[in-house]
């Protein structure tokens, strides 16, 4: 597990780079908690790697500079780091950056690639390898290629 100071320092740098001012809280937890959060807030009964919880504009005021919360499954991050061949610290940074972009209002499911381009640019700035959106895209392309090959070769 990386030192808390390492992740706190990266969080501060990434927030500044994303342009997200205010307080962000990060919960490092396990798959069971992430499954519960994912089920309660997104209706998906499975663990996930990172969830973002932006603070509503109605809750924010001049004294309250909180921007939101991130929840990250260390168990999932550890598996993903092993699959990608990099350190857990690196994977946690990728997840923090991805979550911060969501807190800043980006949504890769609806923005026609804007978040992916922004994330790619920021990962390059921080020296991080491919992120979640690109991995999902390449996995989807691999599955599609596999289905096409199965249709051609019965």
Please write the tens of the pLDDT for every residue from 77-135: 999 999 999 999 999 999 999 999 999 988 888 888 888 899 999 999 999 998 877 77
Tokens in use for 119?
Answer: 């994330």
The yes-or-no verdict on residue 65 having pLDDT over 90 is: no
Q: Which of 90, 100, 92 is nearest to 76 (CA)?
A: 92
Tokens in use for 124?
Answer: 């390059």
Residue 55 banded pLDDT, cuts 50, 70, 90: confident
* Distant-in-sequence, close-in-space partners of 54: CB < 8 Å, separation ≥ 6: 67, 68, 102, 103, 105
pLDDT tens digits along 12-44? 999 999 998 889 999 999 999 999 999 999 999
The yes-or-no verdict on residue 11 having pLDDT over 50 is: yes
* Full-model pTM: 0.83
The yes-or-no verdict on residue 60 having pLDDT over 70 is: no
Residue 50 banded pLDDT, cuts 50, 70, 90: very high
Domain ranges in the chain?
A: 4-152
Q: Which sign does the torsion angle of CA 124, 89, 40, 137 carry? A: positive
3-state class (DSSP) for residue 72:
strand
Residue 63 banded pLDDT, cuts 50, 70, 90: low
For 58, what's the count of Cα atoms within 13 Å in the CB-facing half-sphere? 0
What is the model's pLDDT at position 151? 33
For residue 22, what is the enclosing H or E element? none
User: Average pLDDT, stretch 147-154?
Assistant: 34
3-state class (DSSP) for residue 51:
strand
Class of the 4-152 domain? alpha beta
For 49, what's the count of Cα atoms within 13 Å in the CB-facing half-sphere? 20
User: Average pLDDT, stretch 66-76?
Assistant: 93
The separation between CA 8 and the C-alpha centre of its own chain, rounded to angstroms, equals: 16
Instruction: Provide the 10 A C-beta neighbour count for residue 65.
Output: 11
């Amino acid at each position: 597990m990386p030192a808390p100071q390492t992740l706190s320092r990266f969080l501060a740098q990434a927030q500044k780079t994303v342009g997200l001012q205010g307080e962000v809280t990060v919960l490092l937890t396990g798959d069971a908690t992430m499954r519960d959060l994912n089920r309660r807030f997104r209706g998906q009964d499975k663990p996930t790697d990172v969830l973002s919880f932006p603070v509503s504009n109605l809750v924010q005021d001049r004294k309250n500079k909180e921007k939101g919360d991130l929840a990250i499954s260390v168990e999932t991050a550890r598996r993903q780091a092993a699959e990608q061949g990099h350190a857990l610290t690196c994977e946690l940074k990728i997840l923090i950056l991805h979550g911060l972009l969501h807190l800043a209002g980006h949504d890769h499911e609806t923005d026609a690639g804007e978040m992916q381009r922004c994330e790619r640019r920021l990962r390059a700035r921080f020296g991080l390898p491919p992120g979640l959106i690109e991995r999902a895209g390449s996995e989807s392309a691999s599955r599609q290629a596999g289905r096409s090959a199965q249709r051609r070769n019965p």
